[in-house]
Amino acid sequence: MRCLNIMISVDDGFTTHQELLHDQTDRAWGENCCICVRVLLLQQYMKKQCDEASGRNQVDVDSARKTILIVDDIADNLQLLRSILAASYRIKIATSGEKALLLADCSDPPDLILLDVMMPGMDGYQVCSEIKKRENTKNVPVIFVTALEDATDEEKGFAVGAVDYITKPIVPAIVLARVTTHLALSQALSDLEKQNAVLSENVRLREQVERIMRHDLKTPLTAFIGIPALLKRRSDLPADVMESIRMLEKSGVKMLDMINKSMDLYRMEAGTYQAHLVPVELVNIIEQIRFELSDHLRAKSVGLLVSVNNMETSAASKFHARGEETLCYSMLANIVKNAIEACPDNKTVRVGFFEAPKPHMTVNNPGTIPFAVRDKFLQKFASHGKVGGTGLGGYSARLMAETMGGSVSFTSDENSGTTITIDFAADLPAISVEHNIADLRALVIDDNAMLLATICEILRSIGLYRIEAVKDVASATEYLSSGEPVHLIVLDWNFAAASCREFFRRVGSDAYYAKVPLLVISSEPFDEEVRAAFGAGAVKLVSKPFSPDLLLKRVEEFMERMLQLGVKG
C-alpha cells in the first residue's frame, strides 16, 4: 500500500516540506508525488508574495516617521523649516551642497529633500542634478526652496529633476502640504515598483510551474493513463486486478483534468490555445465520467441515462465529434458533475447525443437555474448556493467548446428543468475501416523508457507489430542508414529538440524517408520547423498526455499514406 504524507509550511519567506514515503521500491510514484509537492510549494509562495504585496500597499504613509533632509546655507531658514517639520518627521541638516550629497548618498538616504537654490559653492541645481545621477538617491523627491519666482528658474529646476517648488517667504501650511503630498506620491511609486517586481516574479514562477507540469508530469502521466486503458481490453484478468486498473486509470484522469485546467484556461482566455482536432468518441468519455462520479450518483440516488439519437446506449454505442480528447473530457466532466449536483435527489440526469441537424449533445436535469444567475450562468466566477464553488465550471466548459469550434447554450424552466446544449464543429472527417498493416514497420524514438514501451504497446494493439524502438536520435539515424523500410515515425520532440532538427534534415533529404508520415509527440505548441522539414500533410502532433485512442486516430489518419509507401525490400 502506497502512502505519501506531505507537510508544508510557509513562514517568513521560507518554505519547507517533508516527505515520508512508504514502499521505497515504488520510486516512480514517489518522484511524481515530489513533483506535485514542488508545484504546490511554488503556488503557495506566489500566493504569499501577492498577500505580502497587498499588505504593504495598505500601510499608511504617516505610520512611520520619514526622514527629511533640509539643505540651506542660512541658519534662520534651517531653523524655521526644522520647527515646522520636526513634530512629524526626522530631520537632517546640511549647510552646503557637498555636505548634502554626503548625507543623501548613504546607507540610510532621506525620504525627501528640501533644497535651497542659491548657495555658495554648489548651488541647488548642481546638487539636484548630482542626486538624480546616483543610483542610491535618484528616486528621492527634491523640492526647491527659493525666493526666485521667474518661470525660467522653475523650468531649470524641473529640468534637473525637482518635483516641486516652495517660494519664500515660507508659509508653514504650504510646506506641510507639499511635503505630505510628495511623500505620499513617492510611497505610492515605491509600492507600485515593489508590486511590479512581485508580479514579475509570479509570472516567472507560473512559467516554472507550467514547465514542471508540461515536462515532469505529462510524460509519466501518458503511461499512467494509457497502460490501464490497454489492460482493460484484456478478458483474462481477475476481477480484483481489473478493479485496481480502473482505480489507477481514475487517478490518472483526475490528475490530467487538474493539469489541463490550470495550464489551458488562461491560454483559451487569451485566444492563444492551439487546438488539434480529431474525431473523438464521446460515449466512452461519458461512461468514464459516470464511473468517476459514481459516489456522487449513489449519495443523491440520482440516475444517469445516456442515449444516442434517442436510443439508450449499449456496449456497442458510439458517437464521434470533432474535438480534442482531453478538452472533451474536461468539458463534459464539468457539465455532467454540475448537472448531478443541481439535480434533485431520486431524479435522473439525461445525456443525449444527436447527429442531426448537426452534431450536438444535451445534458438535462430536473432542477432549475435561479433567475438571479441566469444572465451570468456561463460567465467567470458565476456560482450560486454551492459551498466552496469556484464558479469556473460552466465558464471553462464554454471556453473549451468555443476553442474546439463549437458552442454552449442553456435553457431552464420549471417544466423541463435545465438543459445544457453543446454544439460541435460539423466538419467531422470520415473514420476509415480497418486496414491490413501487418507488413508495415514503425520507428519509435523516445528517451523515456516508460513512454517508449507505452507507445509500442498501443501500436501493437492495432496489429502494428514490426516496431523498431530506440532511445536516441543517433540510434534512429543509424537504423535508417541500414536501408530498412519504415512506414511511420513516432518521435518525442521534447527530449532533444536540436538533435530532432538534425534528424529531420537527414530524413527530409532522402527521397523515400521524406514521404514517411511523422507523429511528433510534444508538450509544447507545434513547431512550424517540424512541418517545414517534411512534405505538406506528412506531420501530425500528438500532445502530451495522450490516450491510446488519440494516438491510434493519428495513425488512422496516416494509414492511406503508409499503405501507399508499400513494403520496401
What is the secondary structure of 516-533 as a DSSP string? Answer: S-EEEEESSPPPHHHHHT
Residues 6+ apart with CB under 8 A from 367: 342, 343, 344, 417, 418
Instruction: Label residue 20 by pLDDT band (50, 70, 90).
Output: very low
Q: What is the CATH number of the domain that holds 365?
A: 3.30.565.10
What pLDDT shows up at residue 23? 39
Helix (H/G/I), strand (E/B), else coil: 281: strand
Same domain, 90 and 111: yes
Position 223 pLDDT exceeds 80: no
pLDDT tens, 65-116? 899 999 999 999 999 999 999 999 999 999 999 999 999 999 899 999 999 9
- Give pTM, 2 decimals: 0.43
Q: Which of 328, 245, 295 is nearest to 304 (CA)?
A: 295
Q: How many domains does the chain have?
A: 3
Residues 561 and 459 in one domain: yes
On whether residue 12 sits in a domain, the answer given is no
Closest CA to 328 of 293, 289, 291: 289
Mean pLDDT score, 273-281 = 76
In a domain, 332, yes or no: yes
Task: Give the pLDDT score at 496.
Answer: 57
Q: What is the structure's pLDDT at 393?
A: 67
CA-closest candidate to residue 513, choices 436, 565, 456, 470: 565
Grid look-up 469556473 returns 392
Listed range (217-221, 343-347, 363-367) with the worst mean pLDDT: 217-221
pLDDT tens track for 32-74: 444 444 444 444 544 555 455 444 444 344 436 899 999 999 9
**C-alpha grid cell, residue 296:** 456522487
Question: Quick one: pLDDT band at residue 537, thresholds 50, 70, 90?
Answer: very low
Determine, yes or no, domain membership for 56.
no
pLDDT band (50, 70, 90) for residue 27: very low
376 & 496 share domain: no
Does 561 lie in the same domain as 488?
Answer: yes
Residue 97: the pLDDT is 93
Helix H or strand E encompassing 8:
strand 3-11
Mean pLDDT of the region 331-339? 90
Task: Please name which of 261, 253, 256 lies closest in space to residue 232, comparing C-alpha atoms.
Answer: 253
For the chain, the average pLDDT equals 76
Task: List, in order, residues 6 or more apart from 259 with CB less than 8 Å away.
Answer: 213, 217, 218, 221
The verdict on residue 311 lying in a domain is yes
Res. 404: pLDDT tops 70:
yes
Nearest to 294 by CA among 363, 254, 340, 233: 340
Give dist(CA 500, CA 497) in Å, integer.
5
Among 381, 412, 431, identify where a domain stops. 431
Can you count the helices (H) and strands (E) in the chain? 18, 20
Assess if residue 176 is contained within a domain. no
Q: Are residues 302 and 424 in the same domain?
A: yes
Residue that finishes a domain, picked among 113, 138, 170: 170
More confident position, 416 or 379: 416
Nearest CA to 494 out of 441, 541, 533 is that of 541
Residues 404 and 520 in one domain: no
Residue 239 belongs to some domain of the structure: no
Q: Is 20 helix (H, G, I), strand (E, B) or coil?
A: strand
Residue 267, domain member (yes or no): no
**Tens digits of per-residue pLDDT, 146-189?**
887 778 888 899 999 999 999 888 999 999 999 999 999 999 98
Could you tell me if 451 and 368 lie in one domain?
Answer: no
Does residue 106 sit within a domain? yes
Q: Give yes or no: residues 293 and 427 share one domain.
A: yes
* CA dist 567 → 437, 441, 562 (Å): 10, 9, 9
Asked whether residue 406 falls in the same domain as residue 456, the answer is: no
323 and 299 together in one domain = yes
**409-414 average pLDDT score:** 89
Q: Same structural domain for residues 411 and 289?
A: yes
pLDDT of 215 > 70? The answer is no
CATH no. for residue 90? Answer: 3.40.50.2300
pLDDT at 25: 35
pLDDT in tens, 432-444: 434 456 678 889 9
Kindly state the average pLDDT of the residues 129-144.
94
Q: What is the number of other CB atoms lying within 10 angstroms of the CB of residue 102?
A: 10
Same domain, 375 and 462: no
Burial of 397 (0-12, 13-18, 19+ CB in 10 A): buried
Chosen domain end from 431, 464, 484: 431
Least confidently predicted of 153-167, 235-249, 327-341: 235-249
- The pLDDT of residue 26 is 42
Whether the CB-CB separation of 464 and 440 falls below 8 Å is answered with yes
For residue 447, what are the domain limits?
441-565
